[in-house]
Amino acid sequence: MLYRRFWILSLLSGVEEVGCSPIELKRFNILAYLANAVAKCYGVTPLDPTVLKENDGPLYPELLWEIDRLVGMGLVIVSDIVVDRSKAVRNVSYSISARGLNCESQCRALHREFSRIGDSLRSAAMAYSRNRLSLSIESLKSRDGNYADTTVANGEVVDFGDWVNTNATANSIDRLSKKIGQSLESDPSVSVNIYNRYLAAFSAEGGAE
């Protein structure tokens, strides 16, 4: 539970670092998916190597439950709440608070491995955030190695490391890194950034939602 919350704070810290806070609910789910999908490129074990494939995009119910707990603790700020006539929340945006940044920093100081994982997650979040306005759900459906798998229907689980030992997204980034002569072992951020731009280019080419 604590590790999951550290993941969330690290991702939101990366979003904050590039000046893209707050991040809306739908985009946070996309970010959470991509962070899990590219974790292997950073030598990090995915927090959730599966995701529920929905027509509206990837969905992580347990992660959202944890965000609500972080909001209650004052570590995450909620804004832009949209409710329907039945008062059910339809959309919401999140940003990390000053207390959240301090908490994430303290966790990173506990152990070198926490610092390494935190750096990796922030890097993945920054890569997504730089392309967030163009990187749509349709981008994932059409171009992402895992999410575009047509053998997985909406409502089914996309598995990229739980029972299935194949991560098509990470494999695509690995091939890309070799093509540009950039070692994933030394600096995966370059290839991860290029991959995010590749996904975002789908919208620029007229494939946006």
3-state DSSP: the chain helix, strand, coil percent, rounded to 5? 55, 10, 35
Per the CB < 8 A criterion, the answer to whether 128 and 196 are in contact is yes
This prediction's pTM:
0.91
Chain-centre distance of CA 25, in angstroms? 12
Pairing type for strands 23-24 and 89-96 reads antiparallel
pLDDT string in tens for the chain (209-residue length): 789 999 999 999 999 999 999 999 999 999 999 999 999 999 999 999 999 898 888 989 889 899 999 999 999 999 988 777 776 667 899 999 999 999 999 999 999 999 999 999 999 999 999 998 888 899 999 999 999 999 999 999 999 999 988 999 999 999 988 888 877 777 899 999 999 999 999 865 555 44
Per the CB < 8 A criterion, the answer to whether 148 and 33 are in contact is no
